[in-house]
């Protein structure tokens, strides 16, 4: 069943829900709830306490009970910075997810929000971060680890397979497959109608992860960001990644910089995706791979944001031209 893409809790089956946050852009992630009032597990929390509280209030109202377990699909703040609001819950994730959770302190994002508008990278990010409040967040990492070979759980009679598919979007990517319900929660291995951004990982592993999601055959796939889809969503993102990697390789051999390559890549069918300027991060990932750097080489976020801002302006101009042509 495909629920409408509207903010709030939607039922996917008898004991399976998703909480969606349109438009699915920066920081607006999706979560999952499995179980009922006697035994419930949450897949991911949100970017700040207010957004997480809103979801927990909806769950209390519409489902009730206590959430005893939380699975973090990966370490990014928009999937884990609300963990502290479930005191006493068992937090489950990959070991690398737990290790990386402290790599970006929430205070750093709050400071970025407070920087003057004259700092170009801050200006670009600030608009997207406006709706979030990063004060009071206490990083609460997983203490139960999903091994590389995966972990099987049962929640209120529902079978869960926690599958490790990293390093793809991050080093600690875990997806949650409910084989009897035909549902998969993918975390940010899958973005829908939104350009992806990745941290530690490789194109090869990310593409393989998307193909393994499609191969599960589940009709209902809840992406980390964007509307609920089916296997076609995973395959579409795979095609985007393969295309960007191939274009980057071609432009790399011509000596084009990351900025030039990002501007020259014709996004074609992907041009209307949200956050299309994230192409910069994907080109940079390809370039790092082509230079033979390790999969977890640090990403120079500040400089890439400055380039992304220029690319965003170019994409907006192109969209306006397309609009005029219609
Ligand atoms: Zn996310």
> Which CATH number does the domain housing residue 146 bear?
3.60.15.10
The answer to whether position 301 is within a domain reads yes
Q: How many CA atoms lie within 13 A of 6 on its CB side?
A: 6
The answer to whether position 136 is within a domain reads yes
The answer to whether position 278 is within a domain reads yes
Which pLDDT value is given to residue 65? 87
Q: What predicted TM-score, i.e. pTM, was given to this entire model?
A: 0.96
Q: How far is the CA of 45 from the centre of ligand 1 (A)?
A: 10
CB 183, CB 220: distance < 8 Å: yes
Q: How far is the CA of 82 from the centre of ligand 1 (A)?
A: 13
The answer to whether position 282 is within a domain reads yes
Over range 201-208, report the average pLDDT. 98
- How would residue 126 be classed by pLDDT, with cut points 50, 70 and 90? confident
The answer to whether position 54 is within a domain reads yes
Instruction: Show Cβ contacts of residue 108 under 8 Å, excluding neighbours closer than 6 positions.
Output: none
Mean pLDDT over all residues of the chain? 95
Total domains, the chain:
1
Over range 64-93, report the average pLDDT. 97
The answer to whether position 1 is within a domain reads no
Q: How far is the CA of 1 from the centre of ligand 1 (A)?
A: 23
Q: Say how many C-beta atoms besides its own lie within 10 A of residue 216's C-beta.
A: 18
Q: How far is the CA of 152 from the centre of ligand 1 (A)?
A: 24
Q: How far is the CA of 158 from the centre of ligand 1 (A)?
A: 25
The answer to whether position 300 is within a domain reads yes
Q: How far is the CA of 24 from the centre of ligand 1 (A)?
A: 9
Which pLDDT value is given to residue 115? 79
Domain limits for position 203: 8-325
How many residues comprise the chain?
326
Which pLDDT value is given to residue 320? 92
């Amino acid at each position: 069943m495909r629920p409408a893409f509207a903010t709030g809790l939607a039922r996917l089956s008898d004991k399976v829900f998703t909480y969606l946050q349109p438009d699915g852009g920066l920081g607006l992630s999706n979560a999952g709830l499995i179980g009922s009032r006697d035994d419930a597990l949450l897949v991911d929390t949100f970017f700040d306490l207010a957004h997480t509280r809103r979801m927990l209030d909806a769950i209390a109202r519409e489902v009730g009970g206590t959430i005893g377990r939380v699975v973090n699909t990966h370490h990014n703040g928009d999937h884990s910075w609300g963990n502290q609001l479930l005191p006493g819950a068992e937090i489950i994730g990959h070991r690398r997810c737990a290790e990386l959770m402290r790599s970006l302190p929430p205070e750093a994002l709050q400071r970025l929000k407070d920087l003057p508008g004259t700092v170009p990278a801050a200006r670009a990010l600030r608009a997207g971060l406006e709706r979030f409040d990063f004060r009071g967040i206490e990083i609460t990492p997983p203490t139960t680890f999903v091994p590389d070979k995966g972990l099987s759980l049962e929640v209120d009679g529902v079978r869960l397979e926690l599958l490790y598919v990293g390093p793809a979007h991050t080093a600690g990517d875990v997806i949650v497959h409910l084989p009897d319900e035909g549902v998969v929660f993918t975390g940010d291995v899958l973005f829908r109608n939104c350009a992806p951004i990745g941290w530690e990982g490789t194109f090869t592993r990310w593409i393989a992860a998307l193909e393994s999601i499609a191969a599960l055959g589940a009709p209902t796939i809840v992406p980390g960001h964007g509307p609920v889809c089916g296997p076609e969503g995973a395959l579409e993102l795979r095609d985007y990644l393969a295309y960007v990697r191939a274009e980057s390789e071609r432009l790399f051999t011509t000596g084009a910089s990351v900025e030039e390559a990002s501007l020259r890549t014709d996004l074609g069918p992907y041009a209307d995706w949200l956050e299309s300027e994230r192409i910069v991060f994907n080109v940079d990932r390809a370039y790092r791979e082509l230079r033979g750097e390790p999969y977890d080489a640090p990403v120079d976020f500040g400089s890439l944001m400055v380039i992304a801002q220029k690319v965003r302006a170019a994409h907006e101009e192109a969209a306006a031209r397309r609009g005029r042509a219609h």
